[in-house]
Structure formats: C-alpha cells, structure tokens
Amino acid sequence: MSSTASTTGPAVTYEIDAAHSSAQFKIRHMMISNVRGAFAKISGTVTADPSNPEHSSVIADIDVTSVNTNDEKRDAHLRSEDFFHVEKHPVMTFHSNKVEHKGGHEFQVNGDLTIRGVTKPVTLSVETTEEVKDPWGHQRIGATATGKIDRRQFDLNFNMPLDNGGFMVGNDVDITLEVELVRKA
C-alpha cells in the first residue's frame, strides 16, 4: 500500500507503532445498545509497494489479553473459554493475501484472520495518510482499517436468550484498526 497512487519506487516496509495504534470493536448488547472495546497491544508490519500496490502485504498481531471494555468482569469473561480463551489463544492474527488500490488513499485488503485457532477470510477497507517526517527524523504514515465479522465463524459462540426473544450478544462485530506506521531503515 502506498499513500498515493502516483508514488513510484521500490517496496517500503513499515512497523506498527504500538504506542500509537489500537484495534477497536463494537458489538450489539441485549439488542438495545452497542458495547465498544479495544485491544491495547498490536504489532506487525506493512510492506508497501508504491509501483505495484497489489504486491503490498499486511501482517498484524493483536494481543487478546489486552482486551478492555471498561468493565473488569466483562473483560475477564471475554478472556475466558466462553470467548477468546486467552490461555490457549493469546494472539489473533491477520495476514493479507490481496491488496487492491481503490484510488487515492483507499485500499481493499483481503486476508486471513485467525481468532481462537480458527482462520477465516476477512475484507478490510483501508484509508491511508500521506507519509510525514516526525521530529526525530522517522518517516511515518497512518492507516485506518474497517471491517465486519460474524463472531460465530471464529467459534465465539457464547450467548444467552432474552425473555422477549433474541440474544444477549449480537453476532456481527464491527472492527476498526487505527495504526501509525514507522518506516524501517
């Protein structure tokens, strides 16, 4: 991926700056509201090929133990066997297998997401920024990736029926990754 379609040159590798990046999610709760949460620990690399964006790649690891929904009991439940089972599966991963430049700063990234040892294809819409130089001389670029998954595809099946019909936890999970990337020397 590159910041602009007109940029040309050799492939460039970026590392995710964990201190300035996060992965967020949103899911329906009791069919009446949305619960939002985030994973504080994210790492990975992006190899951007400005001349051939389709040759670009993304690898990201998210430490599932870092889940935070601002409720300690819910976070503990999310770490349990009912959901992420972090003792057995502490990391979720994303590996791209196709990057398509949609124009300007927009890309579609298809890849494999692994949660709880289950791997399924996922499509992310990605918007990048222009590359800038930080005060310490490092080249940085930002990216926002969004997508949606059905949690049941990843063996995240815990739920409870509600008295009026429906279930406590929705199935669709909206995903947003906000990443800041630092160009490797």
Question: 32-90, pLDDT tens digit by residue?
Answer: 678 899 999 999 999 998 888 889 999 999 999 999 999 999 999 999 999 999 999 99
Residue 66 phi/psi, 5-degree rounding, is -90, 15
In a domain, residue 5? The reply is no
Instruction: Tell me if the pTM is above 0.85.
Output: yes
Is 114 within the bounds of a domain? yes
Helix (H, G, I), strand (E, B) or coil at 11: coil
Is position 62 within any domain? Answer: yes
133 lies in a domain?
yes
Spatial contact of 62 and 40, defined as CB atoms under 8 Å apart: no
Q: What is the CATH number of the domain that holds 89?
A: 2.40.128.110
Domain count, the chain: 1
Residue 121 forms part of a structural domain = yes
Q: Is residue 6 part of a domain?
A: no
Query: Which domain range does residue 17 map to?
Result: 12-183
In-domain check, residue 2: no
Average pLDDT, the chain: 90
